[in-house]
Structure 1
Amino acid sequence: MTGVFGILNTEMGFIGILPYIAQRYDVTIVHAGLLISLFALGVALSGPVMPLVFSRFNRKYVMLLVLGLFTICNTISVFASNFNLLLAVRIIPAFFHPVYCSMAFTMAAEVAGVKAAPKAVAKINIGVSAGMVVGVPISNFLAEHISLSVSMSFFALTTFFVMMATAFFVPSMPAVGRLSYGEQLAVLKKPMVWASIFAILFLNGSVFGVFNYWAAYLASVVGLAPNLVSLLLFGYGLCNIFGSMAAGHLLSSRAEQTVKAFPFLLGAVYLLLLTGGDSGVMVAALTIFWGVLAGINANINQF
Structure 2
Amino acid sequence: MGVIGILPLLAERFGVTITRAGLLISLFALAVAFSGPVLPLVFSGVNRKKMMLWVLGVFAAGNIVSIFTDNFAVALAARIVPAIFHPVYCSLAFSVAAASAAEEDRLKSVARVIVGVSAGMVLGVPISSFVASNFSLDAAMAVFAAGNLAAFLATLVFVPDLPVEGRVSCREQLGLLKRPVLILSIIGIIFMNGAVFGVFSFLSGFLENVTHLSWNSISMVLLIYGSANILGNVIGGRLLTKAPLRTAVLFAPALAAVFAALYFAGSSAWAVFAITLVWGILGGINVNINQYWITSAAPEAPDFANGLFLTAANLGTTFGTMLCGEIIAAFGIGSMMLGGIIFLALCFMFICARIYAGRSSVSVAV
| Smaller-chain TM-score bracket | over 0.9
Q: CA RMSD, aligned part only? A: 0.9
Is residue 299 from structure 1 mapped to residue 283 from structure 2 by the alignment?
no
Partner of 1:158: 147
Question: Aligned letter for 1:193?
Answer: L
Is residue 130 from structure 1 mapped to residue 119 from structure 2 by the alignment?
yes
CA shift for structure 1 position 221: 1.3
Q: Partners of 2:16 and 2:180 in 1: how far apart?
A: 42
CA shift for structure 1 position 132: 1.4
Q: Secondary structure at the match of 1:112?
A: coil
Is residue 208 from structure 1 mapped to residue 197 from structure 2 by the alignment?
yes
Unaligned runs of 5+ in 2: 293-366
Listed as ranges, the matches of 1:2-13 within 5 Å are 12-13=1-2
CA shift for structure 1 position 114: 2.3
Q: Partners of 2:169 and 2:248 in 1: how far apart?
A: 32
CA shift for structure 1 position 86: 0.3
Q: Give the one of 38, 41, 47 matched to 2:27.
A: 38
C-alpha contact (below 8 Å) 2:121/2:226 kept by paired residues: yes
Q: Partners of 1:113 and 1:205 in 2: how far apart?
A: 32
Q: Secondary structure at the match of 1:116?
A: helix
CA shift for structure 1 position 244: 0.3
Partner of 2:337: none
Aligned length: 292
Partner of 2:299: none
Unaligned runs of 5+ in 1: 1-11
CA shift for structure 1 position 261: 0.5
Partner of 2:222: 233
Query: In the TM superposition, what whole-angstrom CA distance separates every residue of 1:41-89 from its partner, at most 9, and x where no partner exists?
Result: 1111111111111101000111011100001111111111211000011
CA shift for structure 1 position 154: 0.4
Partner of 2:180: 191
CA shift for structure 1 position 140: 0.1
C-alpha contact (below 8 Å) 2:60/2:148 kept by paired residues: yes
Partner of 2:165: 176
Question: Aligned letter for 1:227?
Answer: N
Q: Partners of 1:292 and 1:38 in 2: how far apart?
A: 26
TM-score by length of 1: 0.95
Q: Partners of 1:245 and 1:187 in 2: how far apart?
A: 30
* Greater CA drift, 175-184 or 196-205: 175-184
Query: In the TM superposition, what whole-angstrom CA distance separates every residue of 1:225-267 from its partner, at most 9, and x where no partner exists?
Result: 1111111110111100000011111111111111110011011
Is residue 143 from structure 1 mapped to residue 132 from structure 2 by the alignment?
yes
Q: Secondary structure at the match of 1:142?
A: helix
Q: Give the one of 236, 243, 261 matched to 1:247.
A: 236
Is residue 266 from structure 1 mapped to residue 255 from structure 2 by the alignment?
yes
Is residue 110 from structure 1 mapped to residue 99 from structure 2 by the alignment?
yes
Q: Partners of 2:167 and 2:237 in 1: how far apart?
A: 29
Q: Partners of 1:135 and 1:78 in 2: how far apart?
A: 16
Which consecutive segments of 4 or more residues in structure 1 shift more than 3 A?
A: none
Q: Partners of 2:27 and 2:36 in 1: how far apart?
A: 14
Question: Aligned letter for 1:88?
Answer: A
Q: Partners of 1:297 and 1:45 in 2: how far apart?
A: 21
Q: Partners of 2:106 and 2:95 in 1: how far apart?
A: 9
Partner of 1:119: 108
Partner of 1:96: 85
Q: Give the one of 221, 234, 237 matched to 2:210.
A: 221
Query: In the TM superposition, what whole-angstrom CA distance separates every residue of 1:153-181 from its partner, at most 9, and x where no partner exists?
Result: 10001001111111111111111112211
Q: Partners of 1:294 and 1:197 in 2: how far apart?
A: 18
Q: Partners of 1:256 and 1:204 in 2: how far apart?
A: 17
Is residue 280 from structure 1 mapped to residue 265 from structure 2 by the alignment?
no
Q: Partners of 2:60 and 2:31 in 1: how far apart?
A: 18
Q: Secondary structure at the match of 1:173?
A: coil
C-alpha contact (below 8 Å) 2:211/2:269 kept by paired residues: yes
Question: Aligned letter for 2:232?
Answer: G
C-alpha contact (below 8 Å) 2:210/2:267 kept by paired residues: yes
Question: Aligned letter for 2:120?
Answer: G
